[in-house]
């Protein structure tokens, strides 16, 4: 994230911090002023559903990820983080739990603004407790662990795809429209793959690469139900990215392999109580403070 809207524990920004933060600041400056919550009758897909249509993909994505009525939704995830080198078995570093508070607002031009706040806490694989350091299996050194938290981010989704207004050098083959995701449909089950590969240059000049792929599962009957503003989804995701800076890997070859799973909830208290307690202890009010759209010049 850009430094003025990122609450980060590390001076080295992650790719997702950079991308979402820059998009958040830029999007907040340029969104139409008549931003609003979803329509009184929540929009839904209509049968027969054409999953090759950008309009269908846009609405399906918003419904899967969030709530078209404008209410917040909470994406919870957990998984494992490995370090890997060519022709070697990956080494487990630690586990994680995460929460991403998401809200959508429909814009006058038919696109959707997504606002969010996110938190990732790294945990011990055996005890499940949140950690502040770990023994680096590649160097034998004890490294500090930097948890991720994003105070506010925003992006715009349209039939032309996601729009990032990031103010740094970057490359991504997945941001060129139209917005059509790969779908698998079997009866009432639907799966969508959201591709988020990106390379970018950090302010310190370092070139970073993150190959992230999200796989969402939901139900066709819920996506087409106008009475359901926030259809269920569960998800899996994986990413390959450069070593975390705090690992102090220097010129040691290899990269991070990060994989997890999770689902969407419509209530924060549905998340694991231990995670919520630790999040509140470390970052009071971070997950309970509403996204304040009015703070930005919309």
Q: How large is the average pLDDT for residues 203-224?
A: 92
Q: Is the pLDDT of residue 11 over 60?
A: no
Distance CA 233, CA 187 (A): 16
Residue with tokens 């009071």, as numbered in its chain = 284
**Model pLDDT, residue 196:** 86
For 75, the token pair is: 């994406």
**Model pLDDT, residue 146:** 95
Cα dihedral sign, 169-173-179-182? negative
Q: Is the pLDDT of residue 220 over 90?
A: yes
User: Across the chain, what does the average pLDDT equal?
Assistant: 85
Q: Is the pLDDT of residue 29 over 90?
A: no
**Model pLDDT, residue 1:** 28
**Higher pLDDT pick, 143 / 40:** 143
Q: How large is the average pLDDT for residues 132-158?
A: 92
What are the backbone dihedrals phi and psi of residue 67, each rounded to the nearest 5 degrees, phi first? -135, 115
Lowest mean pLDDT: which of 48-57, 117-126, 163-172, 270-279?
163-172
User: Rounded to the nearest 5 degrees, what angle is found at the Cα of 263, between the Cα atoms of 68 and 98?
Assistant: 105
The residue extents of the domains of the chain are 15-289
**Percent of the chain scoring above 90 in pLDDT:** 68
Q: Is the pLDDT of residue 30 over 70?
A: no
**Model pLDDT, residue 40:** 54
Q: Is the pLDDT of residue 185 over 80?
A: yes
Distance CA 39, CA 17 (A): 31
**Polymer length in residues for the chain:** 298
In this prediction the pTM is: 0.84
């Amino acid at each position: 994230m850009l430094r003025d809207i990122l609450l980060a524990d590390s001076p080295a920004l992650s790719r997702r911090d950079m991308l979402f933060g820059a998009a958040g600041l830029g999007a907040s400056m340029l969104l139409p002023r008549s931003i609003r919550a979803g329509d009184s009758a929540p929009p839904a897909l209509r049968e027969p559903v054409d999953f090759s249509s950008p309009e269908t993909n846009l609405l399906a994505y918003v419904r899967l990820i969030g709530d078209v009525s404008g209410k917040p939704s909470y994406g919870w995830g957990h998984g494992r983080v490995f370090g890997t080198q060519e022709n070697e078995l990956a080494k487990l570093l630690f586990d994680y739990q995460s929460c991403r508070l998401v809200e959508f607002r429909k814009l006058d031009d038919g696109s959707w603004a997504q606002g969010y706040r996110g938190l990732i806490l790294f945990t011990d694989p055996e005890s499940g407790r949140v950690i502040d350091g770990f023994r680096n299996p590649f160097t034998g050194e004890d490294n500090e662990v930097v948890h991720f938290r994003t105070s506010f981010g925003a992006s715009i989704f349209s039939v032309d795809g996601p729009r990032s207004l990031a103010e740094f050098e970057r490359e991504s083959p997945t941001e060129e429209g139209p917005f059509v995701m790969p779908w698998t449909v079997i009866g009432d089950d639907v799966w969508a793959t959201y591709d988020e590969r990106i390379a970018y240059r950090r302010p310190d000049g370092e070139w970073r690469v993150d190959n992230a792929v999200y796989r969402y599962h939901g139900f066709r009957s819920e996506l087409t139900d106008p009475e359901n503003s926030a259809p269920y989804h569960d998800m899996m995701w994986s990413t390959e990215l450069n070593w975390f800076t705090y690992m102090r890997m220097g010129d040691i070859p290899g990269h991070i392999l990060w994989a997890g799973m999770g689902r969407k909830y419509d209530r924060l208290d549905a998340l694991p109580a231990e995670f919520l307690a630790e999040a509140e202890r470390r970052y009071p009010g971070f997950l309970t403070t509403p996204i304040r759209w009015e703070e930005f010049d919309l």
